[in-house]
Structure 1
């Protein structure tokens, strides 16, 4: 993996190609999947088929022969594993022993097969009947103050299940509905809504066929959404120019070989994706974007003076925006010296990027968690919108803003009511449909739920999927406080770390995977989800469930709700479990503008678009217009430079999806067989007085007096900007202070964590 002329660890081949196929085959071999899994992959992400449980990238109306990527295939094969985590396994291992296992080894045990109850006396999980579990959990919930409980949802639960989960919480009496969006793109939901009135992106799939330029900020499609590489490749081939800003040179944005092209696979032909690629400093995106804006406005001034012709879209700015004058003044007052220092890029680099922007009639901006997971991530989003507003690149064909979401339905959950903010939910519609007064007090998001657990105020945690404890900041303190809760309930497909940290009463409830057939009274059930482009897709599966004792997520939610809530003739849990189409009718009744004719449209090729006012240039902001915003500074990190202080970037490997570890190969970065690495550029290694191969520790440099440390990291030379280091998520989460989050959304700021290197670690 090393080049003799380059001492850094790296990967010099394109994303995709034979490496992608080898990655899939390795996981298939480890999971021991049946031949039927191949049929699931054949139908994956196709109209009338099975929708991937991995990323939320859109599903095309005219799919490729194989409409899945490397990580999507891994997610499906991981779920369809032949391995089983049975009651016999739990009889052989105490929970204390299992806590010493690696995350990868826990999930490799296989699919959970039976509902289990934690027995503190034996320190083991023991089997329990479904109805007994429901009765016991219901009794515990009835004994608790509703506002002392938290109902968490991971991003993979369907729209139908998510709608009922939120309804269950509100019928019970609270809005404590944190979800995985709180950990990644809540900054989008809050920051984007503030400036354009929409909490989601404005692009649709057709826009990528018509844009002239694409700008990427802090997103890695090669690992996190590889199917996005297909439209990028097609865009480049028709002349679209792509510019990328990312601290790390991610292979998916450098070069791509299409695994579905026999010619490319046979010849090794690759497509160069990014015309310009800038390794911006972590948190330096505000400065970089402001530098581009500065050049655009300078060109506008020259062009108007010399030609009496505007470069910027003056009509659009006058009719559709607010605050341009103040922003233009800020840009003019900002010195290039400051922009270069904070971005880590030269003026010439930023002017070259801005020239591409100026030369394009239709521009799309993509971004990911490299933007959202900073203390001032929402201000970065606002600054990026400023750039698009200058030339009217919002609300028209071939242009717009496109945040790339992670989990397959994380955006959709918020759409149908998973929100701690009651003002975002049509409570009047819920009251009319179900005959109750929904709670109006704001609930807890992820950070607030963690704070409540630490304070001893949260008494119960119910998790609809996910690996909450492993995904959150401040893990050591959180694990210690977690056992102080009265009740913990986890709905899951496989064993993970969160299932080993329990309250006084704890249950582990196994559910069907999305890839498995869901048979209820009315027959095989369809579930739906929303992609990153606001399109709704139906999914139906044929695979035999891993165990006859599994229940669907929706069935489990209904079972818990029936046991915990008083009877209500308008709340028909049994009918809804028997026919998910009835739940879709409820979603349509609650959100009629977005889900009209829901049941008739579930298998619309390419999904059906639920609409976006900002795309129509209807701005649901305070001013009624799109807002030019003013960032507080040029640095999104939220902490100052200091001698010996580094900005830690947390990474996901190529063999990983969120907290799920499929293996120990980060092929696209050239790292194999380990996750215990600290990546630094060679000059920084020398300045720090350490050496490649040395084992060190990272220590938190948050100014709160709390000691946080992660050791056993091997110093590894890697191409990074000065002043920063990188290491893997979730292993680095103990270094992130719970208070270190985006100011508006409280999304943990995991892409710029203040740390120091402890060089004398064993």
Structure 2
């Protein structure tokens, strides 16, 4: 184990002046509207605008500034003064732009007009909205329904998302994969199986009552920085924080609160983690089993001595199944096996286990470091096992907390964007809209990509996102995407998905959530769902970047009108004119969760749509919470071999998903480049390399396909032996489309088998 300490490779603590300087640099790059400060001041507040970045909840008792570094960067980016007009294409061809970096595409600015790809000139040209809709509709009508995919990123509000799902089903399929397929679908499937809820179980008040937080594979410093405020408060009241992560993430090491004048003036840091255990990539199952073993051993000793027990036996007896089998595995697994699989020492795990055993209320927090594995659902189940042993689900100050990475990714699933037919109240849709919804399951992202590669998927409509860049097997995906009959991407800025157009291709530019959305009945509002299942309203006030932009909802209904046969129950124009009518439809479809929707949408902190597991009502097949006995003690689909490394794909603090804001990863001390491979000193030495050497990473996934990422500079970093790191999305080229979680098909991007090749001896 690496002891908790200041990370010498970082650029200092999270938050503080480093955060301020980073925001200032983005302001200099983007030269945003002078109203950016006003927008930041009303971000994540009642009646304000909900951040377009992460899905961290909105507190009832909010701070003067309820935004973080990443949220500020996203806002500044949306309000950039740069414009990508049709004249841009006079000097640039699509093919030439493929050599541009993601950052340079981002810097072209906001798209201003709807565009159609012209293959004769290899450029996009301006097109009228209605002409685009008509052509899209005719193409869709001519194709087999199963050959069309309706993908969505996590950006669009609940209103547009509901109508998008309705569009797909009235068209005739459930092909509604979503960005959660690539990150937290493992949560949706894994948690549903063991506690009967596809989402986390805690609410905001639980953060204030927890005695301990156990983090697994989640990085609040870069991915949800506002989480650091309640963590700082927790530390002040004496709560303990334990972190399991292969990477020493600065946000879980120390934090300087930008909202505190004293902290900012003095540089006073709050130590976040009491114990920081750098588990091997893929070793969390064994590590958590070790924690459970500590607890069981303490409980055995308590039984002998007559002391209070450490297991919550009444809870286990009343609310769970599978306990006996799991406890047998705990007792029979040797510490030497746990150490070998986790890469941690028994002593380190015991220290963490003692904290868990003596904490009355514990929240288990996890992110993509658990979900993006071939046994990701088993990872999630192990977190639940740990919590169930002490009754830490369904009571105050305790529960399961998966942290979502996009502002409405959870909410879109809630209102119908899902490929699994059983998750949708089809009877309600049939009654409301007088049609027979399709009953056959649709495709996941993995299925869709493989379908494109096989020539079976002919059209992809993409409501936001950068799918070509975000998925595994990037090179194959670029070729497959371009072989489609039609590609349509709803976007605010250029990205790589635009650069591989199908036979027909459209870029449809949309409003930002920050911008005023005027429709027939006046200014409209939208709603989003956060990671704690609360729904909040969002009001855009800024002048749109172009008068030619349309809202995401208006684009969805425009495609729908041109595609789906007219029906008196499908009132696309009326719904476009008044989003409140769409919220009425959502309430009618999901009455138990959205009661009085329009009246409650601006409630401070959002309104809670409920969660059965939070009330200890288990909607599993067994009608109880389920202990899972793991079939293996690592989350891998491959074995260790000489020369094989486990690659973790990572984000810098200067990006959000595939959007790259700059080349400053100050937490890791990396400036001016993203072309690096991070390795510990022992791995560098044992591989016969030296720091600064340029190498090629080659996929070691055993499917006979060559995948490689050249030009990476060896950079020493604090990682466990055998675990190396490289940046997402660049490293996606090394991830095989068939390397994914068994249950959810979420790509296994957090333990990719790779080898190192030296193709040049040049050093920087």
The answer, yes or no, to whether TM exceeds 0.5 is yes
Match of 1:124 in 2: 123
Give SS of 2:383's match.
helix
Alignment partners' CA distance in 2, 1:187 and 1:631? 16
Asked if 1:572 corresponds to 2:580, the answer is: no
Asked if 1:644 corresponds to 2:643, the answer is: yes
Q: Note if contact 1:594-1:610 (Cα within 8 Å) is conserved in structure 2.
A: yes
Q: Note if contact 1:222-1:252 (Cα within 8 Å) is conserved in structure 2.
A: yes
Alignment partners' CA distance in 2, 1:624 and 1:602? 32
Aligned residue pair count: 757
Alignment partners' CA distance in 2, 1:341 and 1:635? 10
Match of 2:173 in 1: 174
Q: Note if contact 1:114-1:550 (Cα within 8 Å) is conserved in structure 2.
A: yes
Q: Note if contact 2:11-2:666 (Cα within 8 Å) is conserved in structure 1.
A: no
Asked if 1:735 corresponds to 2:728, the answer is: no
Give SS of 2:628's match.
coil
Match of 2:722 in 1: 723
Match of 1:103 in 2: 102
Per the TM alignment, residue 9 of structure 1 is displaced from its structure 2 partner at its CA by 7.2
Output one character per residue of 1:8-30: Cα deviation in whole Å (capped at 9) or x when no partner.
97115211000000010100111
Alignment partners' CA distance in 1, 2:515 and 2:413? 25
Match of 2:323 in 1: 324
Match of 2:345 in 1: 346
Alignment partners' CA distance in 2, 1:311 and 1:481? 55
Per the TM alignment, residue 669 of structure 1 is displaced from its structure 2 partner at its CA by 1.0
Match of 1:520 in 2: 519
Q: Note if contact 2:149-2:460 (Cα within 8 Å) is conserved in structure 1.
A: yes
Match of 1:485 in 2: 484
Q: Note if contact 2:246-2:723 (Cα within 8 Å) is conserved in structure 1.
A: no
Output one character per residue of 1:588-614: Cα deviation in whole Å (capped at 9) or x when no partner.
000000000000001000000100000
Q: Note if contact 1:9-1:718 (Cα within 8 Å) is conserved in structure 2.
A: no
Give SS of 1:132's match.
helix
Q: Note if contact 1:91-1:125 (Cα within 8 Å) is conserved in structure 2.
A: no
Per the TM alignment, residue 760 of structure 1 is displaced from its structure 2 partner at its CA by 2.5
Alignment partners' CA distance in 2, 1:483 and 1:51? 35
Instruction: Map 1:352-751; keep pairs closer than 5 Å.
Output: 352-751=351-750
Match of 2:280 in 1: 281
Alignment partners' CA distance in 1, 2:384 and 2:575? 42
Q: Note if contact 1:380-1:636 (Cα within 8 Å) is conserved in structure 2.
A: yes
Asked if 1:266 corresponds to 2:260, the answer is: no
Q: Note if contact 1:9-1:671 (Cα within 8 Å) is conserved in structure 2.
A: no
Per the TM alignment, residue 101 of structure 1 is displaced from its structure 2 partner at its CA by 0.8
Alignment partners' CA distance in 2, 1:511 and 1:79? 11
Alignment partners' CA distance in 2, 1:444 and 1:65? 44
* Structure 1 residue ranges without an equivalent (≥5): none
Alignment partners' CA distance in 2, 1:493 and 1:309? 59
Alignment partners' CA distance in 2, 1:24 and 1:277? 28
Alignment partners' CA distance in 1, 2:567 and 2:387? 50
Output one character per residue of 1:645-687: Cα deviation in whole Å (capped at 9) or x when no partner.
0000000001000000000000111111100000000111000
Give SS of 2:696's match.
strand
Give SS of 2:604's match.
coil
* Structure 2 residue ranges without an equivalent (≥5): none
Match of 1:140 in 2: 139
Per the TM alignment, residue 280 of structure 1 is displaced from its structure 2 partner at its CA by 0.5
Q: Note if contact 2:452-2:480 (Cα within 8 Å) is conserved in structure 1.
A: yes
Q: Note if contact 1:9-1:716 (Cα within 8 Å) is conserved in structure 2.
A: no
Per the TM alignment, residue 225 of structure 1 is displaced from its structure 2 partner at its CA by 0.3
Asked if 1:232 corresponds to 2:231, the answer is: yes
Alignment partners' CA distance in 2, 1:608 and 1:193? 22
Q: Note if contact 1:247-1:720 (Cα within 8 Å) is conserved in structure 2.
A: yes
Match of 1:88 in 2: 87
Alignment partners' CA distance in 2, 1:70 and 1:333? 47
Alignment partners' CA distance in 2, 1:692 and 1:649? 19
Match of 1:58 in 2: 57
Alignment partners' CA distance in 2, 1:600 and 1:130? 34
Give SS of 1:81's match.
coil
Q: Note if contact 1:44-1:51 (Cα within 8 Å) is conserved in structure 2.
A: yes
Match of 1:192 in 2: 191
Output one character per residue of 1:186-235: Cα deviation in whole Å (capped at 9) or x when no partner.
00000011000000000001001001111000000000000000000000
Output one character per residue of 1:380-428: Cα deviation in whole Å (capped at 9) or x when no partner.
1111111111110010010000000000000000000000001000000
Per the TM alignment, residue 743 of structure 1 is displaced from its structure 2 partner at its CA by 0.5
TM-score w.r.t. length of structure 2: 0.98
Q: Note if contact 1:710-1:732 (Cα within 8 Å) is conserved in structure 2.
A: yes
Output one character per residue of 1:236-287: Cα deviation in whole Å (capped at 9) or x when no partner.
1001000000001111001111001111101111111100101000111100
Q: Note if contact 1:9-1:717 (Cα within 8 Å) is conserved in structure 2.
A: no
Give SS of 1:732's match.
helix
Alignment partners' CA distance in 2, 1:704 and 1:130? 44
Q: Note if contact 1:469-1:497 (Cα within 8 Å) is conserved in structure 2.
A: yes
Alignment partners' CA distance in 2, 1:373 and 1:624? 28
Output one character per residue of 1:72-94: Cα deviation in whole Å (capped at 9) or x when no partner.
00000001100000000012211
Alignment partners' CA distance in 2, 1:351 and 1:454? 48
Alignment partners' CA distance in 2, 1:571 and 1:411? 26
Per the TM alignment, residue 309 of structure 1 is displaced from its structure 2 partner at its CA by 3.5
Output one character per residue of 1:33-54: Cα deviation in whole Å (capped at 9) or x when no partner.
1211111111000110000000
Give SS of 2:730's match.
coil
Output one character per residue of 1:559-611: Cα deviation in whole Å (capped at 9) or x when no partner.
00000111010010000000000000000000000000000001000000100
Give SS of 1:450's match.
helix
Match of 1:334 in 2: 333
Per the TM alignment, residue 99 of structure 1 is displaced from its structure 2 partner at its CA by 1.1
Asked if 1:44 corresponds to 2:38, the answer is: no
Alignment partners' CA distance in 1, 2:464 and 2:385? 37
Give SS of 1:312's match.
coil
Asked if 1:165 corresponds to 2:164, the answer is: yes
Alignment partners' CA distance in 1, 2:310 and 2:707? 51
Match of 1:306 in 2: 305
Asked if 1:242 corresponds to 2:241, the answer is: yes
Per the TM alignment, residue 146 of structure 1 is displaced from its structure 2 partner at its CA by 1.3
Alignment partners' CA distance in 1, 2:264 and 2:309? 47
Per the TM alignment, residue 310 of structure 1 is displaced from its structure 2 partner at its CA by 2.0
Alignment partners' CA distance in 1, 2:105 and 2:301? 62
Give SS of 1:125's match.
strand
